[in-house]
């Protein structure tokens, strides 16, 4: 069974940093790209970042230069480093698995990031 378990969310001050983790199990992790999608309170879904199985990352313009995606295939884990956070980054951050670099067939339960002083 595919499982994705996010962690690392919490309350952080504006300008601060946080590292999110997503531990994957139940599939051949290194063979899949991985993605982060976020959802601000009461709002819709926003694609944030994706990383190929080889480690090449892509970003939404809204986070480019501030967020960094990475993965450790030996630990079956994908990370999202969040820097220079603002209130607009407050959201639930979901880890999702893209099937064949297309649709997201599995999602984690999400981890909440709150940026506030």
Whose Cβ is closer to another protein: residue 32's or residue 94's? 94
Whose Cβ is closer to another protein: residue 16's or residue 53's? 53
Whose Cβ is closer to another protein: residue 43's or residue 74's? 43
- What residues make contact with another protein under the rule CB under 8 A? 35, 37, 44-47, 50, 58-61, 94, 98-99, 101-105, 107-110
Q: At its nearest, how many Å lie between another protein and the CB of residue 117?
A: 27
Reduce the secondary structure of 45-102 to three states and give it as a string: EEEEEEECCCCCEEECCCCCCCEEEEEECCCCEEEEEECCCCHHHCEEEEEEEEHHHC
């Amino acid at each position: 069974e595919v499982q994705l378990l996010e962690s690392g969310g919490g309350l952080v001050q504006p300008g601060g940093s946080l590292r999110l983790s997503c531990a994957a199990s139940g599939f051949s992790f290194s063979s899949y790209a991985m993605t982060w999608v976020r959802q601000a309170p009461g709002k819709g879904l926003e694609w944030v970042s994706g990383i190929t199985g080889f480690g090449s990352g892509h970003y939404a313009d809204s986070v480019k230069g501030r967020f960094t995606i990475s993965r450790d295939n030996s630990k079956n884990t994908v990370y999202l480093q969040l820097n220079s956070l603002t209130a607009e980054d407050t959201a639930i951050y979901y880890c999702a698995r893209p099937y064949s670099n297309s649709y997201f067939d599995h999602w984690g339960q999400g981890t909440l990031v709150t940026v506030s002083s």
